[in-house]
Structure formats: C-alpha cells, structure tokens
Amino acid sequence: MATADPRDSALARALPVTPGESELEALASAWATSWTSARAAWPGVAVPEDAFAAWVAERLPAALAPIDGLARLRAGALYLACGCLRGQRDALQAFERVYGGELLAAARRGGSRQPDEIVQRLRVRLLVGPGARLRGYAGAGSLKRWLKLACTRLAIDAGRAERSRAARAMEHAPIAEQLARVDPELKLLKGRYRAAFKQAFEGAMQALSPRARTMLRLHLVHGLTIDEIAPMHGVHRATAARWLAKARGEVLEGSRARLGELLATDARDVESILHLIESRLDVSVARHLESSREP
C-alpha cells in the first residue's frame, strides 16, 4: 500500500500552478493548520476539504506566495462562507445563528418600514445564486464587519425603493421651494432669489467630495449614528464626527460663497437667507441627497 506524500495537500492540488518542491512541505503543514482551525471554528458544519481548498485557492492574493497568502486569510470565516454558498443546511443554520442579527439591524438602519421583508431579501442577495454577494468576501478581514457594510448597503437600496415615489416627486422641485414650504419668511424671499439660491446650494453640494456626500447621506438620509458610521469607514467615532461636521460646514460655506458671488450688491439679503436656512440645513441636504439618483 502506497504511503501518502507528506508534501501533498488539498490546497496544493487546487492551485492553478503547483508550488516548487521546496514550498510543498511547508504549504502542506500550513494548510493542515488552517483546515483544522476552520473546522474547529464551526464544529457543526461539514465542508469537504477539497471544496474548501478550491474556495481558498481562488482567494489567495495573487501577489503573494501561496503560503504567505494563506497566513493572511481568516480560514474560519471562509469555511462558513464556502459552506453557505454550497447551499449546505448546516452552514446556513450556523450563519443565521451568528450573523442573522446583522441582517435585521441593517434592515432597520436602511430605513425600511418592513424590516422583516428586507431581511429576507438580504438573505437571498447575500446567499443565493451565482451573483450572491457573499462570494465577494475575500477572507482578509472580519466577516462581521464585511457583512455589516454589505448588508447596510443592500438595506439602504431596499429602503430607498420604498421611498422612490416621494423621491421622484421631489426630484423636480427646486430646493428653494422645498424650504419655502416649511419657512414662511424664506417664502417671501424665494421669488426674488430662488434661482440664485438653487444655483448656489446645488453648486455647494456638487463640490463635496465623495466621502463627504457619503457621510451626509448615511447620517441624514438613512439615519445612521456616528457610532454606526465610524466602523464602516474603519475610523474612530471622533474622526467620523469630524468628517460629518466638515461636510456640513462645506455645504453652508459653499452656499454662502456662491450666493455672495451671485448677489454681490445684496450682502444683507445673502446673510438673511443663510440665517433662515442654517437651522434647516440638515433637512435641505437630506432632501437633496434623497432625490438624487446616486448610490
């Protein structure tokens, strides 16, 4: 009876290019460690070794040697993801037990009025079919953090769909008119300065960086707190708060500067308009972002 080659491993067999002789034994040892730790992390989940090895091989960083790439991956998280996307009941049950709460929290953050329905949609989009979003998890970071970000994005899309009718109606309403509905004094000024204010405000919004727009959208449109936004960007809450304050300031100051250029001879009216809208800045920014088509 032939003895198994100690240099052989399921991972080596799954690689598109066989490693050199000097690497095989070390790779086999590293794989044995990863395989053992992955199964230990999910003792009730039984993914075949060859299937898991193929899953890992597809996610090894191309710029690194296989053994170095393997050391950077979170074997346990990849093991569960592999089982889920193979449609294994044991893996799906484990996923629901450990991460199901993330889906519900994301549905609520997305602003949906029917969070249970959104959770079901999230399950399908994450776990079903060749386009399942969980396939995008590469194993380099925390699966919980990855899921929180992915689920929040999906839930925001779903929540936005529920509000699409109102958003389309607002899409064609000038910003000054939207504000005038809630501020009688501004209504008196809008007839004279409507076009100038619209141009100044929208110019300030367009000048924002993608990060600033994202921060404002997550906070003002989707209702996420600083404590929820900060982990999505991998920063401390104080940094996220600073980014958000800076974005708001850029909108206000950008509007002021553009109004000043457009109404150079009416400086007092510029300040009057800005004074009136400053207290409702969050409302106007949120409405503008909600009516836009960007993600």
Summary mean pLDDT of the chain:
76
pLDDT tops 90 at residue 83 = yes
Percent of the chain with pLDDT over 70: 71
pLDDT at residue number 1: 38
Question: What are the tens digits of pLDDT across the range 14-66?
Answer: 888 877 777 888 888 999 999 999 999 999 999 999 999 999 999 988 888 88
pLDDT at residue number 202: 83
- Domain shared by 213 and 246, yes or no: yes
3-state secondary structure 206-249: HCCCHHHHHHHHHHHHCCCCHHHHHHHHCCCHHHHHHHHHHHHH
- Domain shared by 103 and 65, yes or no: no
CA 75 and chain centroid, separation: 23
CA 17 and chain centroid, separation: 34
pLDDT tops 70 at residue 73 = yes
Give the least confident one: 28-37, 73-82, 251-260.
Answer: 251-260
- Domain shared by 45 and 128, yes or no: no
Band of pLDDT at residue 176, cut at 50, 70 and 90: very low
pLDDT at residue number 41: 94
Residue 89 maps to a domain: no
Residue 91 maps to a domain: no
Looking at the structure of the chain, the number of domains it has is 3
- Domain shared by 281 and 195, yes or no: yes
pLDDT at residue number 48: 95
pLDDT at residue number 184: 55
**Which domain does 228 fall in, by range?**
172-291
- Domain shared by 77 and 177, yes or no: no
11: exposed, middle or buried (Cβ count in 10 Å: 0-12, 13-18, 19+)? buried
Which tokens go with 45?
Answer: 């989940």
pLDDT at residue number 170: 44
Residue 78 maps to a domain: yes
Higher pLDDT, residue 70 or 148 = 70
Tell me the HSE value of 8 on the side-chain side, using a 13 A CA sphere.
5
Under DSSP, is residue 167 helix (H, G, I), strand (E, B) or coil?
A: helix
Residue 2 maps to a domain: no
Backbone φ and ψ for 62, nearest 5 degrees, come out as -65, -25
Residue 200 maps to a domain: yes
* Cα–Cα distance measured from residue 117 to residue 113, given in angstroms and rounded to the nearest whole number: 9
154: exposed, middle or buried (Cβ count in 10 Å: 0-12, 13-18, 19+)? buried
* Cβ contact 42:94 at 8 Å: yes
- Domain shared by 107 and 194, yes or no: no
pLDDT at residue number 194: 67
- Domain shared by 79 and 190, yes or no: no
Which tokens go with 201?
Answer: 């405000």
Q: What mean pLDDT is predicted for residues 61-89?
A: 91
Residue 11 maps to a domain: no
Angle between helices 281-291 and 267-278 (to 10 degrees): 80
pLDDT tops 50 at residue 294 = no
pLDDT at residue number 249: 85
Higher pLDDT, residue 227 or 209 = 209
pLDDT at residue number 266: 55
Give the DSSP H or E segment for 79: helix 75-85
Residue 7 maps to a domain: no
- Domain shared by 178 and 279, yes or no: yes
Residue 14 maps to a domain: no
